Structure 1
Amino acid sequence: MSLTVSASRRQLSDLGPLEQLRAGRLARRLPQLVIGLVLYGVSLAMMVRGALGLAPWDVFHSGFIRHVPVTLGQAVVLFSFVVLLLWIPLREVPGLGTIMNAFLVGLSADATLALLAEPEGWAPRIALLVVGVVGNGLATALYMGAQFGRGPRDGLMTGLARRTGLSLRLVRTGLEVTVVVLGLLLGGALGLGTVLYALAIGPLAQAMLPWCTVELPDRL
């Protein structure tokens, strides 16, 4: 399967792990992958410190850590691997980016939370939220555009859509509603930022993806 990127001749290619490494341009793609994943964790932490609401999966993570002695980043890593177990019956194949995603996002989120204090006043909190959402959109475009595979949660979405025949939008909505409800039951942080994220992240990532997608040789 090859997903065409609008407004660009470049494409997101669905490559296996070895093909991803053999595709070339590693000097560009590997740093872009790492930067995207680290930025994803940083943007997550910015939304946490803004305290105006988190992304749907992070509502769940924030609720989980209220009952288990782990950090938010550790919860992100833990559930990345739980989700990867769900890939097995869906026959999704992880790539290098999938595994790095599982580790780097959580680690960079915890590092940023250790350095960034929660500000006082509405203006800096709103700024953290907005920059966090925009940064998350850019981070998504960077790591996806590096062509090293989907993240654990993205792969769960695409795998379920392929197996059930339902649309990606419907599967994504169902997953995000489920994790938000579970997060709320656990005492997670829901707010206006959650709504902003849900509305903005798709258009932001789609707008930035053509600029971030690394063109691969035609032979692939």
Structure 2
Amino acid sequence: MKKEWILRWSFFVFGLMVLALGAALTIEGKLVGAGPWDVFHYGMFLKLGLSIGTWSIIIGFILLTAASFAAKKLPKIGAFLNMLLLGLFIDLFLWLLPNVESLMGASLFFILGVILMGYGVGIYVSADLGSGPRDSIMLLIVEKSGWSIQWVRNGMELLVLILGWALGGPVGVGSVIIALFLGPIVGFSLPQCKTLLKHLLVRQEEDQNLAA
């Protein structure tokens, strides 16, 4: 059981790192346009200072607190770690990545970033250790309203995109691409990641039985 949890937590943390790297790449490729939430975080950074990762943590904390009060229960520890680690990793990768000034460089950063974001979500979600703050509030709205997940997700992303644009965040064609294609990439990556984790857990159990 202990080794299973180690493997699940490894998937969870690694997935958040991949997701954060993807987000950082799209932010650095802002000439093309960033994703709705990153547009919002970037806009808050422009207007109020702090770092983009810090705003990701602050907004995540607000959403997680709101979801907890509305649901009248504490979220999983994975949700708190998602909120904290994602922001820290985004700031780390933004510090490590070079600045890109050309449209071609920004486009390459953006394309790679979107793919990594899709696979990062697939890896961390497959660990089943708790959804992030934004997904938590989305699921709560779906539960309370009875609306479809697609409409609630699209509505949330449209709202934060408008807010981010009003704050001066980098809205562009890339913002639309992320909104349209990130979901399908996750839909492709998540079953792969679940299958891989299941395979590793079965192999781990077989090794333990052989050792016994």
Q: Same fold (TM over 0.5)?
A: yes
**Aligned match of 1:42:** 21
SS of the residue 1:66 aligns to? helix
- Which of 152, 161, 169 does residue 133 from structure 2 map onto? 152
Tell me the CA shift for residue 88 of structure 1: 2.4
Partner Cα separation in structure 1 for residue 102 and residue 40 of structure 2: 26
Structure 2, unaligned runs of 5 or more: 203-212
Deviation at 1:121, TM superposition (A): 2.2
Stretches of structure 1 that go unaligned for 5 or more consecutive residues are 1-21
- Structure number with the higher helix fraction is 2
* CA shift in 2, pair 1:77/1:171, >3 Å: same
Match of 1:181 in 2: 162
CA distance in 1, matches of 2:168, 2:101: 23
Alignment of 1:201 with 2:182, yes or no, is yes
CA distance in 2, matches of 1:191, 1:24: 44
CA drift of 1:35 comes to: 0.5
Q: Which moved more, 1:148-157 or 1:118-127?
A: 118-127
Tell me the C-alpha RMSD between the 2 structures.
Answer: 1.8
How do residues 1-220 of structure 1 correspond to structure 2 at under 5 angstroms?
A: 25-51=4-30, 52-91=32-71, 93-213=74-194, 214-215=197-198
Cα-to-partner distance string for 1:188-215 (whole Å, 9 max, x where unaligned): 1101111110111110001111121244
Identity of aligned residues (%): 32
Deviation at 1:24, TM superposition (A): 7.0
Aligned length: 196
> What is the rounded CA distance, in whole Å, between the counterparts of 2:140 and 2:163 in structure 1?
21
Q: Is the 8 A contact 2:139 2:149 kept in 1?
A: yes
Moved beyond 4 Å, runs of 4+: none
The CA deviation at 1:47 is 0.6
CA contact (8 A) 1:98 1:150 kept: yes
- Partner secondary structure for residue 190 of structure 1: coil
The superposition leaves residues 152-196 of structure 1 with CA deviations (integer Å, 9 ceiling, x where unpaired) of 100110110010011111111111111111111111110111111
